[in-house]
């Protein structure tokens, strides 16, 4: 993955043929033309959980078109850091009741979330030239 600076507060990540664009809100000096890096981080948690729910349904031939997830964060008032993430899974009325707990367990398999609980070591290096 390679990271490049764009105009104003924009930053791009080039990875596996994709360009992932980020920006900052206007109050942060940006143009608010793309999600912020932190918004992408939160979206990665939600979409990862959704992937596991979708896979669960596909394996059991349960239609998933009427299923949606909602992610809400709670912040610590002193630190401003996210202290809790709520993910609600909205299931249609005809969803099999016997799978309700299992679909929650499948969402909990999210690999992004697992990396928060067992974070990698980070190393930053500066190279000239």
Structure tokens at 66: 């009427």
Q: In this predicted structure, what is the pLDDT of residue 40? A: 97
Cα dist from 17 to 1, 12, 25, 58, whole Å: 10, 12, 26, 27
The domains found in the chain, sorted by start residue, are 35-117 (3.30.300.20)
List, for residues 45-64, the tens digit of each pLDDT value.
Answer: 999 999 999 999 999 999 99
Categorize the per-residue pLDDT at 78 as very low, low, confident or very high, splitting at 50, 70 and 90: very high
Q: What is the pTM for the complete model shown? A: 0.91
List, for residues 95-121, the tens digit of each pLDDT value.
999 999 999 999 999 999 999 999 999
Contact 11, 37 (CB under 8 A): yes
Residue range 63-76, pLDDT digits in tens = 999 999 999 999 99
Q: What is the pLDDT of residue 85?
A: 97
The answer to whether residues 100 and 114 touch, using CB atoms and an 8 Å cutoff, is no
Model pLDDT for residues 16-42, shown as the tens digit of each residue: 999 999 999 999 999 999 999 999 999
Which of 108, 115, 123, 114 lies closest to 50, judged by CA?
108
């Amino acid at each position: 993955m390679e990271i490049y600076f764009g105009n104003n507060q924009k930053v791009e990540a080039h990875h596996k043929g994709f360009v992932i664009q980020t920006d900052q809100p206007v109050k942060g000096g940006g143009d608010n033309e793309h999600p912020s890096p932190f918004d992408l981080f939160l979206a990665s948690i939600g979409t990862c959980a959704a992937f596991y729910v979708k896979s669960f349904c596909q394996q059991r031939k349960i239609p998933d078109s009427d299923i949606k997830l909602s992610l809400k964060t709670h912040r610590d008032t002193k630190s401003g850091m996210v202290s809790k993430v709520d993910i609600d899974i909205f299931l249609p009325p005809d969803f099999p009741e016997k799978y309700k707990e299992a679909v929650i367990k499948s969402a909990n398999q999210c690999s992004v979330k697992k990396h928060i609980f067992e974070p990698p070591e980070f190393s930053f290096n500066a190279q000239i030239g």
